[in-house]
């Protein structure tokens, strides 16, 4: 695994924008960064793929464990939603996607930092933009990237399972990144055979006569992809209508358990020997163990505290607070002063590719840069 | 809802989409072997990018009275996933 500087393509902004990628430089800071790339070996890619599949399998067993043992309390999910989660799990409702964030240096086994199981982003840049970069720059090499095709498979499976040809999409459309990511998924769904509609989240309605969610034209919403987290939905005004269970949501409600960092202690408890898991607990680890404190519900690396023995905690800013989980600190590798995190995608039950985000700080957040990769 | 922001978004996307022709993203086999491994794309990009963007083509649902519909119960804070 190497980080190699390279000259960006001429007119790279125009190129990536022609691919629908308009959030490459938010607030005039670089997010898409093609002034370097990561070059991995085929064996390293195989290692990541194997780890991703193993982590997914462990996660599914962890969900089953939480449900069977009724261990919901650490997740802080409103109790009224537990039956909805259980039902969606027992129905084996389709999951489209998820992104494992891994620390990997090309030598030691990848380590799970967290699982973005409900609303993972960086999808368009992973599936499409870095693919075209690779085709432009290294057409005789390879890239770990079948995300697009697996997404089509996933939507076809959903179409067959639900037998509903119309699929609604919703997100907070004033966020360009959310809107384009949702748009990309909508494009993929069309290719899979769905008729699609987009409803801005604030216009999603509830019709009291039908007792159904409806779109902005008052048509029933039977199946809906939401790029909006469950942990917010179950705490907002319309949450009570979710309990009527008249709309099928993507991701499925059972993903609430995996998108919550309270799953990390469960995973470690069930699989303490796994080479891919770091020690994790709901309580602080022994004082002399380097550790990271994370809110169970937080996003973009906010409010993460790195606690190293003998040093004051280094905490990122943000709006999130307790409850926390404590995870053994695992230093990210360093390449030319940059710390990469591997985002490894799980789509329709398959590991499908990686996107690498790097930062000069120890915590990957929303100012980290996306750097493309190849392997050979 | 901030409609002006949405308009800006739509203009940006329309500019991006306008640069694409329908089927431009179709791709052939990859000489590096990507299509023979599980890692590579095998298909093309078709669909929505080549179609008119945005809005609804369908008519208002005649069986539903808007007066019975409440809105704004999700996303009222304006927080987004990536902000």
Q: Write the pLDDT tens digit of every residue in A41-81.
A: 999 999 999 999 999 999 999 999 999 999 999 999 999 99
- What residues form DSSP beta bridges with A214? A205, A220
Helix%, strand%, coil% for chain B, nearest 5: 25, 5, 65
How far does B18 lie from chain A, in Å, by closest CA?
Answer: 8
Angle value at C-alpha A254, between A185 and A344, nearest 5 degrees: 50
Q: Do A177 and B74 touch (CB under 8 A)?
A: no
How far does B22 lie from chain A, in Å, by closest CA?
Answer: 12
Q: Do A233 and B66 touch (CB under 8 A)?
A: no
Nearest to A194 by CA among A171, A217, A163, A215: A163
Assess contact for A355 and A32: CB atoms under 8 A.
Answer: no
Mean pLDDT of A202-209: 94
pLDDT in tens, A141-161: 999 998 988 998 999 999 999
User: Best residue in A44, A218, A352 to probe B by mutation, most B CBs within 10 Å?
Assistant: A218
DSSP-assigned letters across all residues of A78-141: -GGGHHHHHHHHHTT----EEEEEEE--SSSPPEEEEEE-SS---HHIIIIIHHHHHHHH-TTS
Burial class (CB in 10 A: 0-12, 13-18, 19+), B76: middle
Calpha distance B50→B78 (Å, rounded): 30
By C-alpha distance, the chain A residue nearest B26 is: A132
Calpha distance A128→A52 (Å, rounded): 21
Question: Whose structure tokens read 């019975």?
Answer: B68
pLDDT in tens, A2-34: 999 999 999 999 999 888 888 899 888 889 999
The answer to whether ipTM exceeds 0.90 is no
Residue pairs between chains A and B whose CB atoms are closer than 8 Å: 192
* Count of alpha carbons within 13 angstroms of residue B29, beta-carbon side: 5
Give kind and range of the element (H or E) at residue B9.
Answer: helix B3-18
Helix%, strand%, coil% for chain A, nearest 5: 35, 25, 40
Say which residues have a Cβ less than 8 Å from residue A270's Cβ, sequence separation at least 6: A58, A61, A62, A65
Computed over every residue of chain A, the mean pLDDT equals 93
Task: Tell me what pLDDT residue A298 has.
Answer: 81
Task: Tell me what pLDDT residue B54 has.
Answer: 34
List of E strands, B1-83: 69-71
Assess contact for A283 and A271: CB atoms under 8 A.
Answer: no
Task: Tell me what pLDDT residue A282 has.
Answer: 96
User: Best residue in B54, B61, B75, B79 to probe A by mutation, most A CBs within 10 Å?
Assistant: B75
Could you tell me if A152 lies within 8 Å of chain B, comparing CB atoms?
A: yes
Residues of A in contact with B47 (CB under 8 A): 187-188, 190-191
Residues 248-287 on A with a CB inside 8 Å of B are none
Q: Do A146 and B39 touch (CB under 8 A)?
A: yes
Task: Tell me what pLDDT residue B65 has.
Answer: 65
Choice among A83-97, A219-233, A322-336, B58-72 with the minimum mean pLDDT: B58-72
Mean pLDDT of A321-346: 94
Assess contact for A177 and B42: CB atoms under 8 A.
Answer: no
Six-digit token string for A243:
């309990």
Q: Do B12 and A176 touch (CB under 8 A)?
A: yes
Please give the C-alpha separations between residue A137 and each of A7, A221, A237, B2, B33, in angstroms, as whole numbers.
10, 43, 49, 40, 16
pLDDT in tens, A94-120: 899 999 999 999 999 999 999 999 999
Task: Tell me what pLDDT residue A171 has.
Answer: 94
Residues of B in contact with A138 (CB under 8 A): 32
**Structure pTM?**
0.87
Task: Tell me what pLDDT residue A62 has.
Answer: 98
Assess contact for A259 and A119: CB atoms under 8 A.
Answer: yes
Whether the CA torsion A321, A117, A332, A6 is positive or negative: it is: negative
Say which residues have a Cβ less than 8 Å from residue A152's Cβ, sequence separation at least 6: A188, A191, A192, B43
Could you tell me if A198 lies within 8 Å of chain B, comparing CB atoms?
A: yes
How confident is residue A313, by pLDDT bands cut at 50, 70 and 90? confident
List of E strands, chain A: 2-5, 36-40, 97-103, 111-116, 166-171, 195-198, 205-207, 212-214, 223-227, 248-250, 280-281, 291-295, 305-307, 314-315, 324-328, 339-347, 350-359, 369-371, 373-375
Q: For residue A306, how far is the Cα from the chain centroid?
A: 22
User: Best residue in B2, B71, B77 to probe A by mutation, most A CBs within 10 Å?
Assistant: B71
By C-alpha distance, the chain B residue nearest A241 is: B73
Calpha distance A109→A100 (Å, rounded): 14
Mean pLDDT of A289-295: 94
How confident is residue A364, by pLDDT bands cut at 50, 70 and 90? low
Task: Tell me what pLDDT residue A204 has.
Answer: 95
Mean pLDDT by 10 residues, chain B (83 residues): 32 37 32 35 37 37 69 82 72
Task: Tell me what pLDDT residue A102 has.
Answer: 98
By C-alpha distance, the chain A residue nearest B42 is: A149
Burial class (CB in 10 A: 0-12, 13-18, 19+), B72: middle
Task: Tell me what pLDDT residue B13 has.
Answer: 43
Q: Do A145 and B40 touch (CB under 8 A)?
A: yes
Calpha distance A143→A158 (Å, rounded): 27
Assess contact for A296 and A304: CB atoms under 8 A.
Answer: no
Question: Among B32, B75, B83, whose Cβ lies nearest the Cβ of A202?
Answer: B75
């Amino acid at each position: 695994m190497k980080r190699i500087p390279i000259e960006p393509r001429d007119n790279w902004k125009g190129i990536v924008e022609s691919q629908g990628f308009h959030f490459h430089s938010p607030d005039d800071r670089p997010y898409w960064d093609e002034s370097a790339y990561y070059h991995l070996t085929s064996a390293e890619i195989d290692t990541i793929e194997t780890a991703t599949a193993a982590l997914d399998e462990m996660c599914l067993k962890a969900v089953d464990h939480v449900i069977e043992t009724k261990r919901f309390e650490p997740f802080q999910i409103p109790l009224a939603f537990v039956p909805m989660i259980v039902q969606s799990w027992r129905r084996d409702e389709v999951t489209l996607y998820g992104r494992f964030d891994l620390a990997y240096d090309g030598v030691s086994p990848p380590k799970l930092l967290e699982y973005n199981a409900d609303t993972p982003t960086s999808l368009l840049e992973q599936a499409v933009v870095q693919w075209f970069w690779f085709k432009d720059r290294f057409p005789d090499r390879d890239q770990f990237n079948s995300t697009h095709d697996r997404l089509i498979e996933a939507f076809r499976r959903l179409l067959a399972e639900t037998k509903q040809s119309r699929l609604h999409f919703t997100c907070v459309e004033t966020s360009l990144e959310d809107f384009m990511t949702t748009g990309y998924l909508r494009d993929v769904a069309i290719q899979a055979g769905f008729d699609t509609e987009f409803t801005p989240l604030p216009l999603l309605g509830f019709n009291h006569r039908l007792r159904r969610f409806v779109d902005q034209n008052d048509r029933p919403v039977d199946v809906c992809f939401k790029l909006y987290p469950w942990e917010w939905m179950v705490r907002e005004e319309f949450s009570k209508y979710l309990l009527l269970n008249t709309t099928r949501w993507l991701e499925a409600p059972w993903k609430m358990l995996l998108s919550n960092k309270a799953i990390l202690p469960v995973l470690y408890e069930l699989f303490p020997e796994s080479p891919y898991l770091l020690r994790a607990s709901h309580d602080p680890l022994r004082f002399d163990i380097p550790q990271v404190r994370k809110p169970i519900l937080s996003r973009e690396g906010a409010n993460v505290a790195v606690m190293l023995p003998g040093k004051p905690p280094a905490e990122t800013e943000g709006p999130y607070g307790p409850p926390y989980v404590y995870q053994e600190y695992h230093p990210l590798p360093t390449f030319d002063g940059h710390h990469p995190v591997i985002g490894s995608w799980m789509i329709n039950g398959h590991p499908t590719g990686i996107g690498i985000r790097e930062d000069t700080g120890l915590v990957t957040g929303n100012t980290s840069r996306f750097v493309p990769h190849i392997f050979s | 809802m901030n409609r002006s922001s949405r308009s800006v978004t739509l203009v940006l996307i329309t500019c991006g989409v306008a640069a694409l022709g329908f089927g431009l993203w179709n791709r052939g086999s990859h000489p590096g072997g990507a299509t023979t491994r599980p890692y590579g794309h095998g298909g093309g990009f078709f669909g929505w990018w080549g179609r008119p963007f945005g809005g609804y083509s369908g008519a208002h649902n005649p069986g539903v009275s808007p007066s019975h519909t409440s809105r704004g119960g999700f996303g009222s804070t304006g927080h987004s996933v990536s902000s």
